[in-house]
Chain A
Amino acid sequence: MPALLVMAAGCAPIPSSVSELPATVGSIELDDTPFYPQERYQCGPAALTTVLVQSGATVSLDEIVDKVYLPGRQGSLQFELLAAVRTEGRLPYQVDGTLDAIWRELEAGRPVLVLQNLGVAAIPSWHYAVVIGIDARRGEIVLRSGTDKRRVTRIRTFLHTWRRGDYWGIVVLEPGELPAAADRARYFESVAALEEAGRIEGAAAAWQAGLDNWPGDNVALFGLANSRFAMRDYQAAERAYRDLLEQRPGLLAARNNLALTLAEQGNHDAALKEIGRALSENPAPALERELRDTEATIRRRMTSGEQ
């Protein structure tokens, strides 16, 4: 029973993969990070405004309150913080849940917004704060937290509270910037989310950065082509889809989008040919539906004489 309670209170040792820092590490503190003391229940908006402004965005705390504060929950949801970063034209990226990942972001000049559970599993007290510094020698971490401009906490204590927040932490990137230690899949998911949020120019810059970092990467190339399409740069989109299809002729989603790109340029016959080719390659049912829809759209446009 006591052992269970210890577990519940999160006092099991923190894995060394989480807590270890390279031996050469000293101390760092981003003391130019702005500070927005929180109002009651509003650590989410305060922490988020801090990292957004530090990334160069021009926002006020009041604007962010309107975007992320949830009165009925007296707090803010993680998803809504991510969404607000996107609507500010920035790219949110979830860092690895390790002290080293935080250190590396700080070195790159980016403070890390973290979710802590300052209570315990049974009586949670969820809190957002911003890590702005680490002093490895003294075993301390420095946060903008609540109404404290400079809260100094023992690293070990911090890691316990962070573990209870599932080691959730994000940085705010300017689209085109890569995280200090970019995980390919996670980075691409973040960019795809930015694209879905309709921030096309940001997504284009971020896909380009992905392509520079992972040359020839299919996902990045598809993303770049899609953003060119969305920006109505159909020639560039067509080139990118064709490049991609040369590498992977069986990528039917790219062929679907290439067909739309051709149709946008008035080349309906070539568009229908691409769709026909894709349909002949046994697409999965959901994809087949998409292809048929696209085909119908193109035919409609042809008969209505629209471009």
Chain B
Amino acid sequence: MGFQRARGALMRLVSVSIICMGFAQAAPAGMIGTAYLLDDESRAASLSRIELVLARQDVGRQLEALGVEKAMIMERLGGLSNAELLELEGQLDSQVAGGDILALIGAVFVVLLILELVGVTNIFKSF
């Protein structure tokens, strides 16, 4: 049991360091990125490196919990900007996920029916 737990902790540590390594490559130490000259939000983001590392870990964990294969997580995180990482931190669930056109017909039909029943007939003009 103890061994299992220790192994789990080690694996987590390793995956966190791998994620941090990916980050370090993208931003050379001490360099201030161009985003600093853009708006205030990016400016803050571009300077708080510790926050970024934490955000990266958090978003990585969320992706994993949502079924993304471990091998792909680093690559997927690698394409995100700092501001995007900070926005996704702890918020992944509130983001729109564009998915299916196929489930649509039922939902729209129900809505149209309700709207018709309450007398909002002009809905049909727009569909």
**Chain A contacts to B: CB under 8 angstroms:** 1-2, 5-6, 9-11, 38, 40-44, 66-68, 70-80, 82-87, 115, 118-120, 122-128, 145-147, 156-157, 160, 165, 185, 188-189, 191-193, 195-198, 207, 218-219, 222-223, 226, 229-230, 251, 253, 256-257, 260, 286-287, 289-290, 293-294, 297
B99 engages A44 (CB within 8 Å)? yes
Shortest distance in angstroms between A142's beta carbon and chain B's nearest beta carbon?
A: 16
Chain B residues lying within 8 Å of A66, measured Cβ to Cβ, are 69, 72
Chain A residues lying within 8 Å of B25, measured Cβ to Cβ, are 198
Chain B residues lying within 8 Å of A219, measured Cβ to Cβ, are 34, 37-38
A218 engages B76 (CB within 8 Å)? no
Chain B residues lying within 8 Å of A293, measured Cβ to Cβ, are 30
B79 engages A191 (CB within 8 Å)? no
Shortest distance in angstroms between A224's beta carbon and chain B's nearest beta carbon?
A: 9
B111 engages A146 (CB within 8 Å)? no
1/0 per residue B46-80: CB within 8 Å of A?
Answer: 01100000000000000101111100100111111
Task: Considering the complex, give the chain B residue whose CB is closest to the CB of A117.
Answer: B96
A80 engages B76 (CB within 8 Å)? yes
- Whether A2 touches B98, Cβ cut-off 8 Å, given contacts A87-B75, A195-B34, A223-B34, is no
Could you say which of A82, A127, A197, A222 contacts B99, with CB atoms under 8 Å apart? A127
B108 engages A125 (CB within 8 Å)? yes
Task: Considering the complex, give the chain B residue whose CB is closest to the CB of A244.
Answer: B37
Task: Considering the complex, give the chain B residue whose CB is closest to the CB of A159.
Answer: B126
- Whether A125 touches B103, Cβ cut-off 8 Å, given contacts A77-B92, A86-B79, A87-B79, is yes
A9 engages B37 (CB within 8 Å)? no
Chain B residues lying within 8 Å of A120, measured Cβ to Cβ, are 108, 111
Shortest distance in angstroms between A21's beta carbon and chain B's nearest beta carbon?
A: 19
Q: How far is the CA of A122 from the CA of B107 in the complex (A)?
A: 10
Q: How far is the CA of A70 from the CA of B99 in the complex (A)?
A: 9
**Which size bracket describes the interface of B in this complex?**
35 or more
Chain B residues lying within 8 Å of A196, measured Cβ to Cβ, are 26-27, 33, 35, 81-82
Could you say which of A79, A157, A290 contacts B32, with CB atoms under 8 Å apart? A290
**Chain B contacts to A: CB under 8 angstroms:** 25-39, 42, 44, 47-48, 63, 65-69, 72, 75-84, 87-88, 92, 95-104, 107-108, 110-111, 115, 118-120, 122-123, 125-127
Q: How far is the CA of A72 from the CA of B64 in the complex (A)?
A: 9
Could you say which of A76, A147, A198, A207 contacts B98, with CB atoms under 8 Å apart? A76
Task: Considering the complex, give the chain B residue whose CB is closest to the CB of A13.
Answer: B126
Could you say which of B30, B44, B84 contacts A79, with CB atoms under 8 Å apart? B84
- Whether A78 touches B27, Cβ cut-off 8 Å, given contacts A6-B122, A72-B65, is no
Q: How far is the CA of A201 from the CA of B79 in the complex (A)?
A: 15
A125 engages B107 (CB within 8 Å)? yes
